[in-house]
Amino acid sequence: MRLLRKSQSSLSGTVLLLLSLFLAAAAAAAEDRANKSSLAGILWATGKDESDLLADMESDDAVDGDVGDELAGGFSSLEGMLHWAIGHSDPVKLKEKASDVQRLSAAELGKRQMEIKELMEKLKMPSDAELMKIAIADLNNSSISLENRQRALNELLILVEPIDNANDLDKIGGLVAVVRELDNSETEIRTTAAWILGKASQNNALVQSQILSLGVLTNLMKMVKSSAREESIKALYAISALIRNNEKGQQLFYFENGYLMLQDIMSNVSIDIRLQKKAALLVADLADYQQGNADAEKHPPLRDPALLKAVVDLTSTSDLDLQEKAMLAIRSLLQLPFTKAVDFKDICDLEQVLERIKVQLEELMYEDEQRDYAADMEILRKEVHIIFHRKLDKVSWVPT
């Protein structure tokens, strides 16, 4: 990606020059076609502001998406548009049209046409697969500079987002190469590598199992304990993405005592709040996955009273977002057939906690900025209260 952007900006002087000529060519050609097609309108509509066009070309969106489609309106690619303009430009007409821009001889115009063709070649985008191969080849190269290694990872981070690219990654040795970087001595490199693994495996069962089979979980869990904030956050992000809705991944996670790691994160007051949010969300995810699991043999350690208490205690945070995520996790845990209502009652003191939150929310209702949050949260709190009491005593219904 950065490769592209670099070549585009170094070319932008040339682009500007050629673009004005191109517009003249387009105008000449469009006039020839008179009103027979809508092409002329499209061209003028898109070509009316050169600086906008260039801005588009250099913006992130344009790099990520189809520059061609946006630029050319009716054309499938930028290349197609340029081909059309060259094919339809008559040097004589072009000369007339270009006269307000620049006075050029017919010979010069012919030369400019060649330049447009060359420019097209340079702008021609390599496929994502080609870009990924370049980045991976860089990662494979042990003599590459740290800066280039980081850049290759940053490029992969963007490239793995589309699911097709993520699926291709393993075929070209990409997963092995990225996983290797988890052992890099540089924090930033390790952090980006974990981030890539998380992104590539997000909602992608194939890539999840490919990465899991490389045995990364232990390594990522070690990274979660890092003193570097970003590293631990990205590592926990990667773990969550890897094991979400993934039976094998969750078995490995429990086998590695991952729930103890989550418990430590949630009960440590000096830990980064973003990490605690991720931990609470992961607990909710893991619990949701176990809904309906009545098989006593396979109960994961989610019923551990210490874990339940860590989640419930999180609700005393002053961060409202974290409080909400903790509440969601409590709701999911309460709904598990194998967690015990009595643990929530006696060990977690959930009754008092819900009462305290109720009072807190009533106060928040008086604050303009917090009213919406308080209203939503009260709905959730009530729901938790009902589920809790149904679980405590399957007969009585205790609305508040």
Ligand X SMILES: *[C@@H]1O[C@H](CO)[C@@H](O)[C@H](O)[C@H]1NC(C)=O
133 binds ligand X (CB under 6 A): yes
Which one of the spans 52-60, 139-147, 286-294, 329-337 is the region binding ligand X (CB under 6 A)?
139-147
Residues contacting residue 168 through CB under 8 Å, at least 6 positions apart:
129, 132, 174
Closest to ligand X by CB, 270 or 396: 270
Helices (H), 124-257: 128-140, 146-159, 163-169, 174-180, 187-201, 205-212, 217-224, 229-243, 247-255
Question: Which residues between 296 and 315 bind ligand X (CB under 6 A)?
Answer: none
Which of 271, 341, 347, 386 binds ligand X (CB under 6 A)? It is 271
Residues 31-70, one symbol each (x = binds ligand X by CB under 6 A, - = not), give ---xx-----------------------------------
Verify binding: residue 127, ligand X, rule CB under 6 A.
Answer: no
Sign of CA dihedral 377, 289, 285, 225: positive
Is 99 an interacting residue with respect to ligand X (CB under 6 A)? no
- Whole-number Å distance between alpha carbons of 221 and 216: 9
User: Does 228 contact ligand X by CB under 6 A?
Assistant: no
Q: Which residues of 6-39 are buried (b: 16+ CB within 10 A; e: fewer)?
A: eebeeeeeebeebbebbbbbbbbbbeeeeeeeeb
Position with the least CB separation from ligand X = 173
18, 109 Cβ separation under 8 angstroms: no
C-alpha R_g of the chain: 29
264 touches ligand X by CB under 6 A: yes
Q: Does 274 bind ligand X (CB under 6 A)?
A: no
Please choose, out of 107-115, 141-149, 312-320, 346-354, the segment that lies near ligand X by the rule CB under 6 A.
Answer: 141-149
Query: What is residue 37's DSSP assignment?
Result: S
**Cα–Cα separations (whole angstroms), residue 71 to 9, 66, 76:** 17, 9, 9
Nearest to ligand X of 78, 153 (CB atom):
153
Residue 398 gets the label, from left (phi > 0), alpha (psi -120 to 50) or beta, of beta
Among 255, 332, 356, 340, residue whose Cα is nearest residue 300? 255
CB of 5 to ligand X, least distance (A): 20
143 binds ligand X (CB under 6 A): yes
For residue 86, state whether it binds ligand X (rule: CB under 6 A). Answer: no
Judge contact between 353 and 333, C-beta under 8 A: no
CA 99, CA 322: separation in Å to the nearest integer? 65
Q: Is there binding between residue 176 and ligand X (CB under 6 A)?
A: yes
Least separation in angstroms between CB 234 and ligand X: 15
Please, what is the minimum distance in Å from the beta carbon of residue 384 to ligand X? 27
144 binds ligand X (CB under 6 A): yes
- Binding segment for ligand X among 88-96, 140-148, 252-260, 305-313 (CB under 6 A)? 140-148
What is the nearest approach in angstroms of ligand X to the Cβ of residue 98?
A: 22
CB of 42 to ligand X, least distance (A): 13
In this structure, which long-range contacts are made by residues 339-342, counting pairs with CB atoms below 8 Å and at least 24 apart in sequence?
339/302, 339/303, 339/308, 340/303, 340/305, 341/388, 341/391, 341/392, 342/392
* Distance in Å, CB of 379 to ligand X, minimum: 33
Binds ligand X by CB under 6 A, chosen from 153, 160, 177, 221? 177
Least separation, in Å, of the C-beta of 148 and ligand X? 7
Residues of this chain that bind ligand X (CB under 6 A): 34-35, 133, 136-137, 140-141, 143-144, 172-173, 176-177, 264, 268, 270-271
